[in-house]
Copies of this chain bind each other. A is one copy, B any other.
């Protein structure tokens, strides 16, 4: 159901032949209204793909009728021709679904620097438009996969209205979003500013706290479209909570499916003087390659945690740092405490808790271990 869980939306996913494998690679999501309100959050990378530049501009009026998405090519770093290709995708979609091209967002994912095979893309858009359906959410979610091993969807049903969504992303996950395309839909009545504020708040503590490998993509896009078809206008808090729930669910699915990972690692920083400090420390720990290798080897190497904390400017006293790994306080006051072999790391989920003992703020960053499979997958990606 996903993007078609909320009323007023049609979707489809087809194999347009962009991917050599013949797997599905093109998706459409269409908002039938009555409302066309929308909001979007994009990569903070300064090198931005043509579709990101286009969609950001088209969203200035907080209105979208449709989204066209393709996997199999990022259309990033493709020069003026890439910009033209994005415009053609929007125009072809607009024609096929009866919308204005300025109300069509474009999302692309795949290899950087390679032009899209536009004849296949445009034919694929026409095919996808012919298959639009109120049950097409799963097909759309499947078609946006790149190295994802599973498609990712989530839904938050509320009384009389719904938020649903789909996501792709399996690497290059980092703050300021990831190689991550997310489309959320809702039939709740909410105007552009309300959508924007709920989406930004949700992204800040979900997708933006996923840091799989410290690499930030050129194509990240999270869109939220409202059809208003439920006729229900939830209050702001209730609506924000539902958007957050779907974002969190999808973000966790991204971490669970990160390229080559064997562990899902939650870095929980508590006792911070500010939320910013907690996020800074969490990211530094989550990005430490040596720690990620150690956790892969099921070694509760808290020294590498301290070493990562020490590179930050957060408020803490090195002699008052506490670290727990899967609940065992292996480090207290900056030195060894409970025996490290008490920490059982045999499961897939690992929690690293850092107590900065400098305040009451906290944050969680999600990451993965570093594995030989990650190296293999990312050495072979484009060949």
Q: Which stretch from A62-70, A72-80, A118-126, A241-249 is at the chain B interface?
A: A72-80
Chain B residues near A176: list those with CB within 8 A: 311
- Give the residues in chain B near A78, CB-CB below 8 Å: 335-336
Task: Bits for A288-308, please: 1 = Cβ < 8 Å to B, else 0.
Answer: 111001101101011110111
In the assembly, what is the distance between CA of A333 and CA of B216, in Å? 20
A379 touching B335, Cβ below 8 Å: no
Q: Which of the residues B112, B308, B374, B382 comes within 8 Å of A215, measured between beta carbons?
A: B308
CB distance from A81 to the nearest CB of B (A): 8
Pairwise interchain contact B379-A307, C-beta atoms closer than 8 A = no
Decide: A382 near B299, CB < 8 A? Known: A306-B47, A307-B45.
yes
Q: What is the CA–CA distance of A374 and B316 in the complex, to the nearest angstrom?
A: 31
Interface residues of A in 339-383 (CB under 8 A from B): 370-372, 374-383
- Do A290 and B336 touch (CB < 8 A)? no
CA A156 – CA B131 in complex, angstroms? 74
- Give the shortest distance, in Å, between A215 (CB) and chain B (any CB): 5
Partner pick for A48 among B77, B172, B310, B375, CB 8 A cutoff: B310
| Docked complex Cα distance between A336 and B76 (Å) | 10
Task: Say whether A114 faces chain B, with CB atoms less than 8 Å apart.
Answer: yes
Q: Which of A66-101 contact B (CB under 8 A)?
A: 74, 76-79, 82
**Minimum C-beta distance from A141 to chain B (A):** 24
- Say yes or no: A375-B375 contact (C-beta < 8 A), given A77-B331, A307-B216: yes
A77: B residues at CB distance < 8 A:
302-303, 306, 331, 334-336
A164 within 8 A of partner (CB): no
Contact of A289 among B213, B318, B381 (CB under 8 A): B213
Residues of B within 8 A of A111 (CB): 303
* Cβ contact within 8 Å between B378 and A375: no
A186 located at the interface, meaning its Cβ lies under 8 Å from any Cβ of chain B in the complex: no
In contact, A382 and B301 (Cβ under 8 angstroms): yes
Q: Indicate if A217 sits at the interface (CB-CB under 8 A).
A: yes
Please, which residue of chain B has its CB at the minimum distance from the CB of A288?
A: B215
**Closest chain B residue, CB of each to CB of A111:** B303
**Residues in B whose Cβ lies below 8 Å from that of A303:** 74, 76-77, 111-113, 218
Which partner residue on chain B sits nearest A307 by CB separation? B218
Query: A237 in the interface, Cβ–Cβ < 8 Å?
Result: no
B215 touching A336, Cβ below 8 Å: no
In the complex, which residues of chain B have a beta carbon less than 8 angstroms from the beta carbon of A334? 47, 77, 79
Q: How far is the CB of A272 from chain B (nearest CB, A)?
A: 15
A287 nearest CB neighbor, chain B only? B214
Say whether A293 contacts B112, CB under 8 Å. no
Bound: A376/B372 CA distance, A = 8
A195 CB to closest chain B CB, in angstroms? 27
In the complex, which of the residues A82, A310, A383 has the most CB atoms of chain B within 10 Å of its own CB atom?
Answer: A310
* CA distance in complex: A319, B336 (Å): 51
- Flag whether A8 is at the interface (Cβ < 8 A): no
A190 at the interface (CB under 8 A from B): no
Complex A-B: 29 CB contacts under 8 Å: A46-B310, A47-B321, A48-B318, A74-B303, A76-B306, A76-B307, A77-B303, A77-B334, A77-B335, A79-B334, A112-B301, A112-B304, A113-B302, A113-B331, A176-B311, A213-B289, A215-B288, A215-B304, A215-B308, A217-B307, A218-B306, A218-B310, A289-B289, A293-B377, A296-B379, A301-B381, A370-B375, A372-B376, A375-B375
